[in-house]
Amino acid sequence: MLYEGAILLVEDDPNDIELTLNAFDRHHLANHVTVVRDGEEALDYLFRRGEYADRDGQPNPQLILLDLKLPKVDGIEVLREIREHESTRTIPVVALTSSRDTRDVESAYDLGVNSYIPKPVEFDEFIKAAGQLGLYWLILNEPPST
Amino acid sequence: MTDSLFSGTSRSAAPTHADGDAEHLPTASKRKESPGGWAAPVAAFEPDQFGSAANQTATNTEPARPGTRTYDETIQSYARIATTCAAIGAIIAAAVLIVWAAGIDSLVNVHTQLWIMHANTALAILLSAIAVLLIGNQDNRRREPGFFRPRTRLDLLIGTLGAAAATIGVLTIFEYAAGIKLGIDHALASVGPLGDENLIRGPSTVSTLMMTAIGAAIALSAWYGERIWAWVQMIAASTLLMSLMVLIADVYDTESIRNLSSPLGATVTSAVGFGLISIAVLLVRPLYGWMNLIAGEGNGSEATRRILPVVLFGIPVLGYVRLAAQNSGLIGTEVGLTLFAGATIVMTTVVVLWSAARINRHEDLQLISEAERDRARALVDGLVANSDAVISVQDPEGRFALINDAFERRYGVDREHAIGNRSYDVLDPERAFLLERLRNDVLARRNAAVEEMPADEAIDGKDEETYLTQLFPIVDDEGNLIGSGSIATDISERKRHEQLLQRLNDDLRHETDRAHDAIDELESFAHTVSHDLRSPLRAIDGFARIVAEDCQDVLEDRDRRYLDLVLQGAAEMGSLIDDLLEFSRVGRTELNVARLDMTKIAKEVNDHLSHERQGRDVRVTVKELPPAVADQRFIAAVFQNLLANAYKYSRKREVAEIEIGALEPDDGAPVTYYVRDNGVGFDMQYADKLFAPFERLHRTEDYDGSGVGLATVQRILRRHGGKIWAESKVDVGTTMFFRLD
């Protein structure tokens, strides 16, 4: 069952956020997406620190869309912390790459992401990645509507 | 007596005196150096300096002995003869003493007194013999001669033994001369059963003289050491002569001449005993005193050794023959004397001539070998003198014994001034210090081979020159240190080249580093730029797309066309960025080489290009391609580019034909692969522009593309050591060939 904040989007570029949310919105998934703007905020959110200290009762996201190039705390560092902590270790992480360029893709896999989507995030790509990760609930619960 | 009178003759005497008379040099070093070995063009090499220095330092080592081994053995054999004679003498004396002590009646009586020596004589001979044996067993080590000061306990013992023998003799003489009976001559004899002193007479005058002389000689030798040996030998020769005369007299006529009271009277045994002791004394130190004349190495000694035995033994034999012939009545006295004189003349003449012949031959050989040696020495001298290397030899005390011209030039020193002086007197203090430090190091280690001294940290530094200095100890055949040598070679030029090379290397490395830095910077710049360019491009493309979709119905046709152009421009820019990224990556990515199935790769790439075939009639033929060894990803990129071009430029053909194949030469030359199309082709005069980045042969509105693709392909093939070229004809088609070497 999808809930609010089931998908965590970690992205700093406002255009990309807008485009991604637009893509999700067309499929009525936008309100399941929580957006954080940099690595530090992502970690605060995940580990309920700072302004997210009272994020009680809210479960962890079921999928993280992570841009690897972020201000403050880099996406790579965020990924490392996610993988180190017991509470977040099992959350699937999908890297957002700026191209299909093999170098970007390879380095993302090297860092231990579960899948990747080239930006801008298109819904088809998202579904494909989610499907690869066995997250069929995303598709089953909210069949894409046109 | 003075030192020089006697020891001066000892040309090859082993021991030397601290006063450093040149004649006292150890033979080996002297023989090596005294011929002026380093002489003429090189330096005034002064052997006495060198030699005396060697003596001082070599205190604890064996004195150098004459060089040739056979000669060495000869000397040792003399010493062996000496000890053998002494031993026999001792045995005879001891036997006689036993006979006396046992008082064997049948042996010692009035009749045998002519044959068996007196007990006192026997005792004196025994004491002397033991003393000589002790001398023979003494090592040859050189000792400081002391005046009335025996150097060792052994010397003291030898001296005491000799003195005891002499004392017996002196007391007996005193007894005879003074007419006083001290009873000394009966001291031993009376012990036996023949106690009757009237029947037993004392030792003969001759024996008494001999025991006194030989005993005194031995005692003196122990006190004075080597310096006295000439006298000792003189005395021994006298006693030997006396013994011989007694024996000759005995052989010639036992009845009339030999009488114990006559001047030549003595028992045969005592004559034999003293004779043996005399020979032993003469031979026990063959290199000392004038015995060196006989035992020495020179031609004169050799002649002496040949002639002397004949004179010593031949003449008495002739005399005996003459006497026997006369006694038998065969010839008269006059005839006998004449024959004797003639025979003596003939015998000595023959021996002298024979020995002269031998010596002449020796000298001839010697002259030849000397000439050879001179020649060899001249060669070495020439080498040293003319060498550019700075060469010097120092004695163990550090005094220069040799310097060559290069040394003079380099240090600005005068040979006259340098020879015989030490480094500190010759060189400036800094250099002298460094040289001496190194020299001491080398000498301390003695046989340590060759010490290398980089001159720039050693004796260099004053001028711009660099010398490589080798220092090494010089030892003689016996292993005695006789000096140290130094050879310094000018390596300034080499050093300068090395430094230049080093500097160039550094520069090059610096440049390379800079180039690498620049490339890295460029790469990361290209990467960053392409990523940063993408961000606004995504916005343009993404929002334009949304607008196009959302406002599909609202937009005018013209506006929609403009929006499409925006999207198209964004797409082109995207692919341009991709191409640029790929182009820059080809240059830096490591090749991951493997054996590749080229046919399979070509087919796979073609399958991926299915969108190019949509709505067109394209006949693609992929022939069997030989395998290649290359990087799979890059080779796929090559086919991808070439095939994409083939599709693109054949677009306007009704039936496009594309063929992928390979030409395999028979001679084993590399395989040439090709991609052929029947497209628009191009004018071959522009072929050289084909592979330059951003160069295009067609208008963009006709055929899209960045112009980077073929440049990338060429870059890939060059990295594989291969190449690409094209053949084309306008409106007929193009064939792209490539090769991997």
pLDDT per position as a tens digit, B540-584: 999 998 898 888 888 888 998 999 999 988 888 888 888 877 777
Contacts of B441 (CB under 8 A, 6+ apart): B451
Cα distance between residue A33 and residue A44, in whole Å: 17
Size of chain A, expressed as the number of residues it contains: 146
Lowest mean pLDDT: which of B15-29, B60-74, B79-93, B381-395?
A: B15-29
Q: Give the nearest partner residue to A98 out of B531, B539, B546, using CB atoms.
A: B531
Average pLDDT over residues B6-15: 36
Query: Closest approach of chain B CAs to the CA of A58, in angstroms?
Result: 33
Residue B245 pLDDT > 60: yes
Average pLDDT over residues B51-77: 49
Sheet of B467-475, strand order:
B400-403, B390-394, B481-490, B467-475, B451-454
Chain mean pLDDT for chain B: 78
Chain A residue with minimum CA distance to B550: A26
Q: Give the nearest partner residue to B542 out of A98, A103, A120, using CB atoms.
A: A120
Percent of chain B with pLDDT over 70: 79
Chain B residue with minimum CA distance to A122: B542
At B486, list the tokens. 């130094």
Most confident of the following: B225-229, B343-347, B665-669: B343-347
Chain A residues touching residue B541 (CB < 8 angstroms): 120
The secondary structure of B503-534, three-state, reads HHHHHHHHHHHHHHHHHHHHHHHHHHHHHHHH
Tell if the CB–CB gap between B539 and A99 is shorter than 8 Å. no
Which CATH architecture is the domain B493-588 placed in? Orthogonal Bundle (1.10)
**Environment class of B470 (CB within 10 Å of its CB; exposed 0-12, middle 13-18, buried 19+):** middle
What is the Cα gyration radius of chain B?
56
Checking DSSP bridges between strand B672-677 and strand B733-739, what pairing results, if any? antiparallel
Question: In which band, very low, low, confident or very high, does the pLDDT at B644 lie, cut at 50, 70 and 90?
Answer: very high
| Cis geometry, peptide bond prior to residue A120 (ω within 30 degrees of 0) | yes
- Running DSSP on this structure, what letter comes out for residue A49? -
Chain A residue with minimum CA distance to B581: A101
Tell if the CB–CB gap between B538 and A22 is shorter than 8 Å. no
Cα distance between residue B132 and residue B126, in whole Å: 10
Residue B588 pLDDT > 80: no
Q: Which domains does chain A have, with CATH numbers?
A: 7-141 (3.40.50.2300)
Question: In which band, very low, low, confident or very high, does the pLDDT at B635 lie, cut at 50, 70 and 90?
Answer: very high
Cα distance between residue B195 and residue B205, in whole Å: 22
DSSP, collapsed to helix, strand or coil, labels residue A15 as helix
pLDDT in the model for residue B35: 37
Most confident of the following: B198-212, B470-484, B658-672: B658-672
Query: Closest approach of chain A CAs to the CA of B552, in angstroms?
Result: 15
B525 to B52, B416, B522, B531, B692: CA distances (angstroms): 82, 75, 5, 10, 21
| Domain ranges for chain B | 69-295, 298-382, 383-492, 493-588, 592-739
pLDDT in the model for residue B54: 37
Question: In which band, very low, low, confident or very high, does the pLDDT at B353 lie, cut at 50, 70 and 90?
Answer: very high
- Nearest-5° Cα angle at B298, B295 to B299: 110
Tell if the CB–CB gap between A15 and B538 is shorter than 8 Å. yes
Q: B534, B588, B631: best mutation site toward chain A, by most A Cβ within 10 Å?
A: B534
pLDDT in the model for residue B552: 85
DSSP, collapsed to helix, strand or coil, labels residue B390 as strand
Contact at 8 Å (CB) between A63 and A94?
yes
- Nearest-5° Cα angle at B251, B247 to B256: 100
Identify the helix (H) or strand (E) that includes residue B3.
Answer: helix B3-7
Cα distance between residue B252 and residue B321, in whole Å: 9
CATH fold group of domain B592-739: Heat Shock Protein 90 (3.30.565)
Tell if the CB–CB gap between B578 and A120 is shorter than 8 Å. no
Checking DSSP bridges between strand A93-97 and strand A115-118, what pairing results, if any? parallel
At B2, list the tokens. 């003075």
DSSP, collapsed to helix, strand or coil, labels residue A86 as coil
Average pLDDT over residues A78-90: 88
Chain B residue with minimum CA distance to A20: B542
Tell if the CB–CB gap between A16 and B535 is shorter than 8 Å. yes
Cα distance between residue B543 and residue B605, in whole Å: 33
Size of interface A-B (CB pairs under 8 A): 37
The CB-side HSE value for B495 (13 A sphere, CA atoms) comes to: 15
Q: ipTM strictly over 0.90?
A: no
The DSSP line for B682-728 is --GGGGGGTTSTT--SS-TTTS---S-HHHHHHHHHHHTT-EEEEEE
Tell if the CB–CB gap between B539 and A101 is shorter than 8 Å. no
Residues of A with CB under 8 A from a CB of B: 13, 15-16, 18-19, 22, 69, 98-99, 101-103, 119-120
Tell if the CB–CB gap between A15 and B542 is shorter than 8 Å. yes
Question: In which band, very low, low, confident or very high, does the pLDDT at B636 lie, cut at 50, 70 and 90?
Answer: very high
Residue A14 pLDDT > 70: yes
Cα distance between residue A91 and residue A115, in whole Å: 12
Residue A33 pLDDT > 50: yes
Checking DSSP bridges between strand B618-622 and strand B656-663, what pairing results, if any? parallel
Cα distance between residue B670 and residue B722, in whole Å: 9
Lowest mean pLDDT: which of B1-5, B136-140, B344-348?
A: B1-5
Contacts of B84 (CB under 8 A, 6+ apart): none
Residues of B with CB under 8 A from a CB of A: 530-531, 534-536, 538-539, 541-543, 546, 577-578, 581, 585, 633
pLDDT in tens, B246-263: 888 777 765 555 555 555
Chain B residue with minimum CA distance to A100: B578
pLDDT in tens, B309-326: 888 888 888 888 888 888
Query: Closest approach of chain A CAs to the CA of B509, in angstroms?
Result: 30
pLDDT in the model for residue B409: 86
pLDDT in the model for residue B142: 43
Q: Across-strand partners of B239?
A: none
Q: Give the nearest partner residue to A101 out of B535, B543, B581, using CB atoms.
A: B581
Residue A41 pLDDT > 50: yes
pLDDT in tens, B220-241: 888 777 778 889 999 999 999 8
Average pLDDT over residues B608-634: 90
At A117, list the tokens. 């989507």
Residue B302 pLDDT > 90: no
Chain A residues touching residue B608 (CB < 8 angstroms): none
Q: A11, A12, A13, A15: best mutation site toward chain B, by most B Cβ within 10 Å?
A: A15
Percent of chain B with pLDDT over 90: 22
Residue B107 pLDDT > 50: yes
Count Cβ atoms below 10 Å from residue B282 Cβ, excluding itself: 27
Contacts of B336 (CB under 8 A, 6+ apart): B322, B323, B325, B326
Chain mean pLDDT for chain A: 80
Cα distance between residue A27 and residue A48, in whole Å: 29
Tell if the CB–CB gap between A120 and B546 is shorter than 8 Å. no
Question: In which band, very low, low, confident or very high, does the pLDDT at B39 lie, cut at 50, 70 and 90?
Answer: very low
Q: B535, B582, B588, B634: best mutation site toward chain A, by most A Cβ within 10 Å?
A: B535
Chain B residues touching residue A16 (CB < 8 angstroms): 535, 538-539
Residue A48 pLDDT > 80: yes
Chain B residue with minimum CA distance to A101: B578
Cα distance between residue A88 and residue B265, in whole Å: 135
- Nearest-5° Cα angle at B61, B58 to B67: 95
CATH 3.30.450.20 given to domain B383-492: yes
Question: In which band, very low, low, confident or very high, does the pLDDT at B667 lie, cut at 50, 70 and 90?
Answer: confident
DSSP, collapsed to helix, strand or coil, labels residue B619 as strand
Query: Residues B672, B673, B677, B682: what is their CA dihedral angle, to the nearest 10 degrees?
Result: -50
Comparing C-alpha atoms, which of B196, B202, B208, B194 is closest to residue B101? B194
pLDDT in the model for residue B673: 95
Identify the helix (H) or strand (E) that includes residue B595.
Answer: strand B593-596
pLDDT in the model for residue B260: 53
Tell if the CB–CB gap between B538 and A103 is shorter than 8 Å. no
